[in-house]
Amino acid sequence: MIGTYLFRIGSFGVPAMGVCVLVGAILAVLLSWILRKRTALDWNDAVVDAVISAVLLGFAGMKILYWIVTPNVFRDAFANGFFQGILSLLMEGMVFYGGLIGGILGIFLTARKKKKNILEFTDLMAPCFCVAHAFGRIGCLLAGCCYGVAVGEQTQFGVLTYKGALAVKYLDGTMRLPVPLMEAIFLLVLCEVLVLVYCTEKHLGRTTGVYLTSYAVWRFVIEMFRGDAERGKFGPLYTSQWISILILAAGVALLILAKKMQWKKGKPFKVFREEELTVPDADAVPEEPEEEERLFGEDAEEPEASAEEPEAFAQEEPEAAEEIAEEAAEEAEEAVEEAEASAEEPEAAEEAVEEAEPFTEEEPEAEEDAVEEAEAPAEEEIEAAAEEAEAEEDAIKNWVREALGDEDK
């Protein structure tokens, strides 16, 4: 049934699956272009590269996973020759989850190359995935693959028996549940929801998380109603159901992280906040406790230095007062000498003496006042500094005794 043609022109036929996949891809790229204003990425550069990588690796992933779950395909493909076998392997059979994993890998490689946050790409392309996937499912319906259970058959685990509601007649004449059509409708609805989330959400990761969780739950349930046996089964579940469980866990984890971290568009990707995670320097020496540094480190001499500072300040104050007194005395002596030198001229001498006498009489008084004024605060400063130094020395001694006593204990 796979490879059914949409229409024929003579011997040339157009396969339904190929047309639907092509239309879905074109609409997906168009949607990403419409949403380009909502992203911090350069659409002509980063987004186009991501789309190309996702398509190539996505196609490879779909084929590889199909070959894994249906190993007998190699034997059947090469039954008609090597060349026909190669064409059969490339044209027939695909598994969507393989394409999803391969597409995410392609996006990751592009994001790493462009040094961008991968969630910038996945949030933008999640609605686009839904569009392409929906048209791919329409292709499955037309091609006759990925069909549902037939009328009268039981679903997985024997939950119920299909009575024929919404049944579609397939090429072999069997009436079956149109699972591909149902999934196409679901994906188009999910696309609209994701576009709404993407356009209203200011932070990264929410759109991708909603996509992963929603589709994982849907796929796990809808697998119960499928009737094709070429899906691979491990234990009680089919391959896609096991993968759905992993995808669901990843989507829930991403939603939790997105809510906690609030990654912003256009910003680099970080799993932890800076205040929550501090990376230690490889060359950094671990710091010792403060008490040990004071007892055994270079800082042990700091209390003595702080105790000596007030004493040094107290010694500087009287010296400054003495310098002021000496300067005043020198000025008085210079005035007297000038007066005596001018005594040869009577009038000038008398005037000089008259000017010098009050000055010489006032200078000693000014000198004494300056000395007293300088010595008074200096003595107070000396006493206060001495008291503070003694208090600090007593505090340091008590602290050292307590520390040594705790250490002995």
Each residue of 236-248: pLDDT tens digit?
Answer: 899 899 999 999 9
The pLDDT of residue 174 is: 86
Query: Above pLDDT 70, what percent of the chain?
Result: 67
Mean pLDDT of the chain: 76
Residues 240 and 322 in one domain: no
255 within 8 A of 206, measured Cβ to Cβ: yes
User: Taking the model in full, what pTM does it have?
Assistant: 0.61
The pLDDT of residue 319 is: 55
CA distance 220 to 18: 26
User: Would you say residue 52 lies in a domain?
Assistant: yes
Residue 257 structural domain: 5-153+162-261
Find, among 101, 8, 4, 116, the residue nearest to 62 by Cα: 101
User: Would you say residue 283 lies in a domain?
Assistant: no
Residues 301 and 379 in one domain: yes
CB atoms inside a 10 Å sphere around CB 342:
17
Which residues fall within 8 angstroms of residue 258, CB to CB, at 6 or more apart? 203, 204, 205, 206, 209
The answer to whether residue 344 scores a pLDDT higher than 90 is no
Regarding predicted confidence, which is higher, 99 or 270?
A: 99
> Any idea of the CA torsion for 30, 36, 38, 41, to the nearest 10 degrees?
140
Torsion sign across C-alpha atoms 58, 63, 66, 67: negative
User: What's the first-to-final CA gap in the chain, in angstroms?
Assistant: 87
The answer to whether residue 406 scores a pLDDT higher than 70 is no
Looking at the DSSP bridge assignments, the partners of residue 9 are 12
The answer to whether residue 166 scores a pLDDT higher than 60 is yes
Amino acid letter, residue 24:
G
Q: Which residue has the tokens 């392309």?
A: 125
**Mind listing the pLDDT tens digit for each residue in 264-276?**
665 655 544 444 4
User: Would you say residue 268 lies in a domain?
Assistant: no
Which contiguous run of DSSP H or E holds residue 169? strand 168-169
Residues 105 and 190 in one domain: yes
Residues 256 and 390 in one domain: no
The answer to whether residue 222 scores a pLDDT higher than 70 is yes
Token pair of 104, please? 């995410």
Residues 256 and 337 in one domain: no
Domain count, the chain: 2
Residues 134 and 186 in one domain: yes
CA distance 65 to 104: 15
Question: Of 224, 241, 261, which residue constitutes the final position of a domain?
Answer: 261
Residues 67 and 192 in one domain: yes
Instruction: Over range 21-47, report the average pLDDT.
Output: 88
CA distance 73 to 92: 9
The pLDDT of residue 85 is: 73
Instruction: Over range 209-218, report the average pLDDT.
Output: 97
Token pair of 284, please? 């950094």
CA distance 363 to 358: 8
Residues 115 and 248 in one domain: yes
The pLDDT of residue 2 is: 41
Token pair of 62, please? 């779909």
CA distance 161 to 159: 7
Residues 354 and 244 in one domain: no
Residues 115 and 52 in one domain: yes
User: Would you say residue 176 lies in a domain?
Assistant: yes
The answer to whether residue 121 scores a pLDDT higher than 50 is yes
Question: Rg for the chain (alpha carbons), in Å?
Answer: 46
Looking at the DSSP bridge assignments, the partners of residue 189 are none
Q: Are strands 5-9 and 12-15 parallel, antiparallel or unpaired?
A: antiparallel
CA distance 19 to 247: 29
- Phi first, then psi: what are they for 293, rounded to 5°? -65, -40
